Amino acid sequence: VVAPDHPLRAAVGRYIMLPCHLSPGVDARTFEVRWIRHRVSETVHHYRNGEDLSGDQMEEYVGRTAL
């Protein structure tokens, strides 16, 4: 996974895109992607086999993230 090597800034209440990509480029539709804060139990976004999974997502992020 390739992502920016510098901090990204966002204003409170505004949208921000956190860019990243796979290198070499591959089809990731069958991958599992889990964005966590500090521990696996702190799930911000969870994606697996082509669908977003919200069952273990932290309440404050429901409806606020997309992949």
Q: What is the mean pLDDT of each run of 10 residues along the chain (67 residues)?
A: 89 89 87 88 92 91 88
What per-residue confidence (pLDDT) applies to 47? 93
**Domain ranges, residue 44:** 29-66
Which secondary-structure segment (H or E) carries 1? none
What per-residue confidence (pLDDT) applies to 1? 85
For 18-42, b/e burial (b = at least 16 CB within 10 A) is eeeeeeeeeeeeeeeeebeeeeeee
Is 38 within a domain? Answer: yes
Bridge partners of 52, per DSSP, are 47
Counting the structural domains of the chain, the total is 1
What per-residue confidence (pLDDT) applies to 58? 94
Is 60 within a domain? Answer: yes
Is 42 within a domain? Answer: yes
Is 45 within a domain? Answer: yes
What per-residue confidence (pLDDT) applies to 39? 86
Is 18 within a domain? Answer: no
